[in-house]
């Protein structure tokens, strides 16, 4: 079996990092929720309550970020690659923490405030939890189904009568005003490449790349 591509994390090690990360994230969220079980904590004056909650959430966020780095490094101990790109992996883990531990923690805090008879604060926390959960559903279930493979046939830019075909993955989004129009793939010798997937209520950005046959070769003096 050949060596894996350098810088790529194997699926097994990624799932190991995910498990380690969520254990640490749940531990941190549980400690914060435990401190807010006290009704007196939930019933403090508004400014004191908001400041204390924001400070503890910030500390938890820093802890979770460190946990994502630690889990990624620990899962790759003994890996025979010289370098593993931890940035994309930690971003994935942080996104999971927002949509899983973040929603769960907010719901627990809302229930704690409801038991302390702080109804407005409980409702505010519940609205935050529902908003994050809605984004989770859109990002993981709705948007992936909006991805479509579109095939385009374009002529060569150097006047070749033959056509070249290509495909791109894009979402059904409103095109940019300053960008290419819907019939832009008919431009000769160019192909449309989408950038990253669109976020909700945003526009898709596309870029045009010339075919290899139309690129001027570089000459050295």
Which helix (H) or strand (E) is 11 found in, with range? helix 11-35
CB neighbours (10 Å) of residue 34? 11
CB neighbours (10 Å) of residue 22? 17
Give dist(CA 36, CA 109) in Å, integer.
7
The contacts of residue 200 (CB under 8 Å, 6+ apart) are: 135, 138, 143
Residue 128: strand, helix, or coil: helix
Q: CB burial class (10 A; 0-12, 13-18, 19+) of residue 63? A: middle
pLDDT digits (tens, 9 = 90+) for 129-164: 999 999 999 988 888 888 877 776 665 554 554 445
pLDDT of residue 140: 84
Which residues is 150 bridged to in the sheet? 168
pLDDT of residue 201: 38
**Composition of the chain by helix, strand, coil, percent to 5:** 55, 15, 30
pLDDT of residue 196: 41
pLDDT of residue 145: 84
Residue 140 is given by DSSP the state: I
Which residues is 148 bridged to in the sheet? 170
Give dist(CA 106, CA 111) in Å, integer.
9
Q: Over the chain (221 residues), what is each successive 10-residue block's mean pLDDT? A: 53 90 96 92 92 96 95 80 75 93 96 94 95 91 82 57 50 43 44 42 44 50 44
Residue 180 is given by DSSP the state: -
User: Encoding tokens for residue 12?
Assistant: 């097994």
């Amino acid at each position: 079996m050949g060596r894996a591509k350098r810088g790529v994390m194997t699926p097994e090690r990624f799932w190991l990092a995910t498990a380690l990360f969520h254990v640490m994230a749940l531990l941190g969220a549980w400690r914060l929720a435990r401190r807010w079980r006290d009704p007196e904590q939930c019933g403090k004056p508004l400014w004191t309550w908001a400041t204390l909650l924001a400070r503890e959430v910030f500390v938890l966020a820093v802890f979770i970020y460190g946990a994502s780095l630690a889990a990624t490094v620990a899962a790759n101990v003994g890996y025979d690659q010289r370098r593993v790109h931890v940035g994309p992996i930690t971003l994935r883990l942080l996104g999971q923490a927002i949509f899983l531990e973040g929603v769960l923690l907010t719901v627990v805090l809302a229930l704690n405030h409801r038991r302390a008879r702080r109804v407005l604060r409980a409702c505010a926390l519940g609205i935050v939890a529902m908003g994050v959960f809605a984004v989770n559903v859109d990002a993981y279930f709705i948007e992936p189904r909006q991805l479509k493979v579109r095939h385009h046939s374009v002529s060569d830019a150097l006047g070749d009568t033959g056509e070249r075909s290509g495909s791109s993955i894009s979402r059904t989004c409103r095109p940019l005003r300053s960008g290419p129009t819907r019939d832009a793939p008919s431009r000769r010798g160019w192909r449309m490449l989408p950038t990253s997937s669109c976020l909700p209520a945003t526009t898709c950005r596309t870029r045009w790349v010339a075919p290899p046959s139309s690129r001027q070769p570089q000459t050295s003096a």
